[in-house]
Amino acid sequence: MASPKAEEAVAAEVDGGEQGHSGKKVRLPDPYVAAILSLKREPPPSAQYLEVLSPEKELEYAGHRKELEDELEAFEKDGYFVVDESYLEETAACLAMANEQLAKLDFSGIVFGDWDYDDLD
């Protein structure tokens, strides 16, 4: 069973996460920054993809994409990003819950043989 704190964090995330926000902003830790900065930008969607969207959805998509690109540009320029303190707490709680659940899984039915590692090429 997951810890009550982990369950609260997940419930807050499902509800939109608004209840747990402290308002205090902190810098996103450097490992998060490094991982995000190493990601490649996605190419813009094809014309065929955009054709199937309604005009409203196309504008919504374009606005969302511009917002993300602007945030990434600022993030790359500054080298850091600030988040609500509760984001880090919720992330830690979710990771703890995932690790608890992973520890309960039985992997004994998965058989790895030597043949899996013979071909190093």
Mean pLDDT of the region 74-83 = 82
In the chain, beta strands by DSSP E: 25-27, 82-84
Task: Kindly compute the dihedral angle of the four CA atoms of residues 19, 25, 31, 33, in this order, to the nearest 10 degrees.
Answer: 110
**What does 76-92 look like in DSSP terms, one character per residue?**
HHHS--EEEHHHHHHHH
Q: State the Cα–Cα distance between residues 106 and 72, nearest whole angstrom.
A: 40
pLDDT in the model for residue 112: 72
First to last CA, the chain: 43
Q: Which among 29, 12, 3, 1 is positioned nearest to 96, based on CA atoms?
A: 3
Mean pLDDT of the region 76-100 = 90
The model's confidence at residue 22, banded by pLDDT at 50, 70 and 90, is low
Range of the domain at 95: 1-28+81-104
pTM of the model as a whole: 0.49
Q: State the Cα–Cα distance between residues 117 and 106, nearest whole angstrom.
A: 22
Question: Do residues 67 and 43 both lie within one domain?
Answer: yes
Question: Do residues 73 and 44 both lie within one domain?
Answer: yes
The model's confidence at residue 118, banded by pLDDT at 50, 70 and 90, is low
Residue 32 has pLDDT above 70, yes or no: yes
Instruction: Report yes or no on 67 lying in a domain.
Output: yes
Mean pLDDT of the region 83-97 = 93
